[in-house]
Structure 1
Amino acid sequence: MTIPFFDGHNDTLLKLLEDPRPNKVELFAQGMPEANIDLPRAKEAGMVGGFFAMFPPPLKSNLSAVAASPTTSAGQLPPELDIAEAQRSTNGMAALMFRLEKAGALAVCRTEADIRAAMAEGKLAAIYHHEGAEAIDTDFNALEVLYAAGFRSLGITWSRANAFGTGVPFRFNADPDIGPGLSDAGKELVRVCDRMGIMIDLSHLNAAGFRDVAAISGKPLVATHSNVHALCPSTRNLTDWQLAAIRESGGVAGLNYATGFLRPDGKMEPDMEIDLMVRHIDALVEALGEDGVALGSDFDGAMMPAPIKDVTGVPKLLQALLDKGYGEGLVRKIALGNWLGVIGRTMG
């Protein structure tokens, strides 16, 4: 039995952008084994779509190395990124996404109905997402252009500061309550996104910024790829009060497969069992209810557990939930239904 699933976060477009080979569309469409996701393996595994993130690092960076570098692991935020550099890289990833759509490898989706239509046609449904708002100006002119192009989901910060807010450093055995809240521009960004139907992603945002979003936004609170702080005390994970706020808003949190946010020792090492992922899902279901838990792999952006490895490993996680005693209906909600529900409540 193949259970269809929707992924809350991947960095596959960045992986493609930084690949030196020119035939990037063919790489994704025909097979790219060095990546965690390509089209043949996604279809094999039952992946029907996901949030395709555009993370704006300086070009030619190594995302995994940045996340595991001595400076960031010691709790230092990387430097802020210039808007021109951010726009250069995000435009490159967006162009790749639209080339993939033109080639028939995926469909860029703006609503829940679009996702369902793509699924019915057997196309991979892609939500246009930015991980960090560095490519957006404080007058929001870029936001209008992005929205017209199909942009529908925004993480205000990655793990650094920008004009709108401050992210959490990659620090283990620490609380995400680090740094100031949203700037005035950041607060206005939340209001504008609410009006436009752009989902706000709270993953990577610090606690003060989270509180600001919760106070301003009238939409469900969403953390696309974050785990449970009580099980792995990383600044990237959600504390009890954050989980309670997400539940109260009717929001969703997607399980992040990154080992450093799953393991109780916080190590970014692949040697771990799927049972640890199930323990985080158990805790998320307890905290958020059956409608509040989804998947948010962080494929192509983090160290994966050895038993998962890539997109073809996701059925093993879903089977582990069934083996644990989760009913098939609940597993299907975690795999797909809960993302469709919150997308409908935020984007339309």
Structure 2
Amino acid sequence: MNGEVTAERPTSASGLAPGESLVEARDIVKHFPLGQGLFARARRRPAEVLKAVDGVSLAIAPGETVGLVGESGCGKTTFGRCLVRLYEPTSGEIRFRGEDVLAHDAAATRRMRGSIQMIFQDPYSSLNPRKKVRDALEEVLAVHKICPKTEIPHRVGELLERVGLSPAMAERYPRQFSGGQRQRIGIARALAVNPAFIVADEAVSALDVSIQAQVLNLLARLQDELGLTYLFIAHNLGVVRHISSRVAVMYLGKIVEIQPAATIFDTPLHPYTQALVQAIPKLEAAGIVDTRAAIEGDPPSPIAIPAGCRFHPRCPYAMPVCREVEPLLTTQEGGTAVACHLYPVASAR
């Protein structure tokens, strides 16, 4: 796996030097209007907006794995779906190999989707239970015209072998596979179109720990062999640390910290990141020690985001300025970026 750290180079507004990124999101916003039904209009209630993603910028270099972590509901999955165009951003810009993908017409968008794929959390629900694995993979190959029709059956076998499954398994239905095997099929389907960038959304969270390790090793091997670039979305930092070169931490629709994976677990800066790192169970001589300490309070609603720093209602270090002024994501010494008033502003981004 590519462990090269890019965060220490001169950075742009989204984390890498200009021209270095394969994928770059610039100030992505995704809001979901609520209460627009007939009864809501009859009551003349003001329209509410769920601010799932509220201005996220992130650049990912070729061959890099960026881990995106945060509690459930922080907006990380929504952001990933915006990158692959499953959701259309409310505003912002997404560039792939320098091109603004949101400005593409329908034909260009279809071509681009062959280069950007997603692996979903639940491999069973993402597979048609009435279709054999062969049918699911052949459909992808045919729609995207990856190879001549006569070569499709051979290509299906190659894809299954690449993810550690027997070609004979192509004749089985999804229900005949274990969870880990189904996830391998999901990976094979993503690989079918020869992508350059894959968003892995909680790709191992539904699996047993031993199976998680196998799938993580598979993803790392595929990255080495195929030169893939990943956005790896997870709520578990312990999983992310083993596959990521950089880690971005998201809270209530915003990125609050970006650090190299080699340093963020030893020197987390943002109080929210510190709490997440402290929640990772530690292995000591006496066995696994559960160090989890709950963060005080519940996350605020993305419908009613607090003024100032979004984390201040739960932060043990909150100051008066935190309640009034939202901190910018700023570059610190060594290229780390953090959005917190505890740290001096070196370079706003």
TM range (shorter): 0.3 to 0.5
More strand by share: 2
More helix by share: 1
**Structure 2 length as normaliser, TM-score?**
0.35
**Structure 1 length as normaliser, TM-score?**
0.35
